[in-house]
Amino acid sequence: MLRNAWWTLAVHNFLARSLMGAVLCATALTNQSGYADEDVSPARPLPGTPAAFAEDLSADQLDAVEDRFSDLSFTGPPVGGLRPFKKPPSWGQVDFLLMWRRQPALPPLVTTSPPGTPLAQAGQLSQPTTTTLLGGQSQVSGPSTGGRIDFGYWLNACSQLGVGGSFLALGNSSLDYAIDTTTTPILARPFFNVTDGQTAAMDTLLASFPDEASGEIAVQATSTLIVAEAYLRQAGQHGAGTPGDLVGGYQFSRIDGSLKISSHSTALSTSQLRVPGTTLSLFDSINTQNEFHGGQLGVLNDWHYGCFTIFGSFKLGLGNMRQKAALSGQTVIDDSVNSITDPQGLLIRNTNIGNYERNVITVVPQVNLRGTYAVSHQLDVTIGYSLIFFPHVLQPAEQLDPDLAVNLAASGEPRPQFTFQSRDYWAQGLTFGLRWNY
């Protein structure tokens, strides 16, 4: 194609020069002395010459030749580090994501003690023999998988202004923890007892203890992330000192999380003021939602080295983060004759139960780096790194009372309490993808 383009260019130039030469020759002949008053016809080109061929073409045919020449371009892989002088009219990118997320540490939610521990000390955090089975470590550990798609189209023939969109979804990263009497004879849920009329001290709700109660404790946690963007892309003048292409548009992001804690026990004796066979079930639930709407500006650039390309981009979003937290609880006591239900649990009680909402102005930076190898004129394989950062995010575990304080009386200090607790959140990791230009 490139060879044909240069041949057509040579023919075009030759035709133009031949026509110009013919005109100059005719003008010179009519102005020569002795011939000014004679009716002399302009000199005609010799048959079979390019000038004669051009003279035989109509105006429409000449326009068609010119249009065909103007459409010729080279859109294959860059050679020798040079950018193609005409970009493909559209682009697309599909990535597989392997990313890690920053999560807050869980407070101590499940504890145990060695056999022989007195009932009054079992599972209490103040005792040196107590072991924390769940809590004090990352809520969700390990990488999560996801996907991202980016696509766009150039709006003009010179590929200077384009429109595009992208969508990222990171899979549900979850924790599913459960333990019962068969594996650990002593199981407890610790809290700080500030019940009115009593001395504040560490305390526990026993789910299992030898000869007293048998039961189980379960904890589930989830976290999801989605990001969607719509943008305009203005191509930069490469080689003219510009940083690259400029992008600007709209960004939507949403980070959801949940934490559910449940315990179920069956009384085996009357020492805990329960009839043997009576069941006690408690549920605590926290759901958070962080929804970002804002504008976005950024810059992206690429550097070509033969069939290899290095791509980099930086984007900065500015807008409103709408934060929501929903706390609920429940206690069910069933002695096989009567069943009592109370709409509060252990850590979620009538002092902090409910739905809470606020708005926070925040910025959301993103960084993407990618290495690309051109398999063909239209298809590239890519590997890279991505990072997205959110300064203010509600996480379920942090919406619990920081001291795990509980007032079981109707009077006195209202504990547990709810206060908005937000912190930095990021997702970063590796990307593996395919990019096509068409």
In a domain, 76, yes or no: no
DSSP per-residue letters across 148-162:
EEEEEEESSTTS-EE
> Is 123 a residue whose pLDDT tops 70?
yes
Contact call for residues 109 and 189 (beta carbons, < 8 A): yes
In a domain, 85, yes or no: no
Within 8 A by CB and 6+ apart from 390, the residues are 253, 255, 290, 292, 321, 362, 364, 424, 425, 426
pLDDT confidence bin for 14, thresholds 50/70/90: very low
Please check whether residues 280 and 417 belong to one and the same domain: yes
Please check whether residues 308 and 368 belong to one and the same domain: yes
Please check whether residues 225 and 262 belong to one and the same domain: yes
Please check whether residues 351 and 388 belong to one and the same domain: yes
pLDDT confidence bin for 73, thresholds 50/70/90: very low
Average pLDDT over residues 316-336: 96
Amino acid present at 327: L
From CA 399, how far away is CA 203, in angstroms rounded? 20
Q: Tell me how long the chain is.
A: 438
Please check whether residues 56 and 198 belong to one and the same domain: no
Please check whether residues 347 and 410 belong to one and the same domain: yes
Domain end marker among 71, 99, 121 = 71
In a domain, 312, yes or no: yes
Reported as half-sphere exposure (CB side, CA atoms, 13 A), residue 46 has a value of 2
Joined together, the tokens standing for residue 418 give 């709810």
Contact call for residues 218 and 175 (beta carbons, < 8 A): no
Reply yes or no: is the peptide bond before residue 416 cis, omega within 30 of 0: yes
> Is 50 a residue whose pLDDT tops 70?
no
Residue carrying the six token digits 């193609």: 84
Within 8 A by CB and 6+ apart from 301, the residues are 236, 243, 244, 245, 311, 312, 313
Please check whether residues 429 and 342 belong to one and the same domain: yes
In a domain, 84, yes or no: no
- Tell me the range of 153-162, 242-251, 368-377, 401-410 where mean pLDDT is highest: 368-377
Across the chain, what does the average pLDDT equal?
83
pLDDT confidence bin for 272, thresholds 50/70/90: low
> Is 148 a residue whose pLDDT tops 70?
yes
Helices 59-71 and 2-30, packing angle to 10 deg = 140
Q: What SS3 state is found at 240?
A: coil
- What percent of the chain stands above pLDDT 70? 77
pLDDT confidence bin for 65, thresholds 50/70/90: low
- Note the pLDDT tens digit of each residue in 165-184: 999 999 888 889 999 999 99
- Note the pLDDT tens digit of each residue in 281-319: 999 999 999 999 999 999 999 888 889 999 999 999 999
pLDDT confidence bin for 6, thresholds 50/70/90: very low
Number of domains in the chain: 2
Q: Which of 79-88, 290-299, 340-349 shows the lowest per-residue confidence on average (mean pLDDT)?
A: 79-88
Greater model confidence, 3 or 428:
428
Give the count of beta carbons closer than 10 Å to the beta carbon of residue 291. Answer: 15
From CA 237, how far away is CA 148, in angstroms rounded? 28
- Note the pLDDT tens digit of each residue in 218-245: 999 999 999 999 999 998 875 555 578 9
Within 8 A by CB and 6+ apart from 13, the residues are none
Report pTM. 0.76
The boundaries of the domain holding residue 54 are 2-71
In a domain, 78, yes or no: no
From CA 134, how far away is CA 177, in angstroms rounded? 8
pLDDT confidence bin for 88, thresholds 50/70/90: confident
Greater model confidence, 16 or 157:
157
Please check whether residues 17 and 103 belong to one and the same domain: no
Average pLDDT over residues 361-376: 95
- What percent of the chain stands above pLDDT 90? 59
pLDDT of 337 reads 84
From CA 358, how far away is CA 364, in angstroms rounded? 18
63: DSSP letter: H
